Amino acid sequence: MTKILLVEDNELNRDMLSRRLERRGYEVVIAVDGKEGVELAQSAMPDIILMDLSMPVMDGWQATREIRSLPTVQDTPIIAFTAHGLRGEDVIEAGFDDYDIKPLEFPRLLSKIEALLEKR
C-alpha cells in the first residue's frame, strides 16, 4: 500500500484530506508540524509527502530543507500547499516537486500525487 505523509497543522484540513486519501486506498501518516514531519519522514519512510508551508514549530520550507538533507528520504517527492499565493519557480527551487493552493481541489491534488508516484 502506498504511504503518504501528510504534514498539516489545521485539524479540519488534516482530517478531511486524510479520510479522502484513505478512501482511495492510501495509507496516511499524519504530522501536525514540520518538526514532527521530519521525524516521521525518517521513521515511516513514506512514498510521498504532502507539506503545508505555514505551520508552528517548524514551517514547511524548513522541514523540506531538512528532509532533502537526509539520505534515506531526500528523493521522496514532496508536494507543498498553502493558502498564500506562490510562484511555482520559488517552490521548485526550494526543493518541492510540485505545489497546490488551498482550498485544495481533491481531484487536482490526486492527479499530482499519482503523477509523482508514477515517476518513482
CATH topology classification for 3-119 = Rossmann fold (3.40.50)
Task: Please confirm whether the linkage preceding 77 is cis (ω < 30° from 0).
Answer: no
* Radius of gyration of the chain from its Cα atoms, rounded to whole angstroms: 13
Residues 6+ apart with CB under 8 A from 82: 52, 53, 54, 60, 99, 101, 102
pLDDT digits (tens, 9 = 90+) for 10-51: 999 999 999 999 999 999 999 999 999 999 999 999 999 999
pTM strictly above 0.75 = yes
pLDDT tens, position by position, 42-77: 999 999 999 999 998 999 999 999 999 999 999 999
CA 69 to chain centre: 16
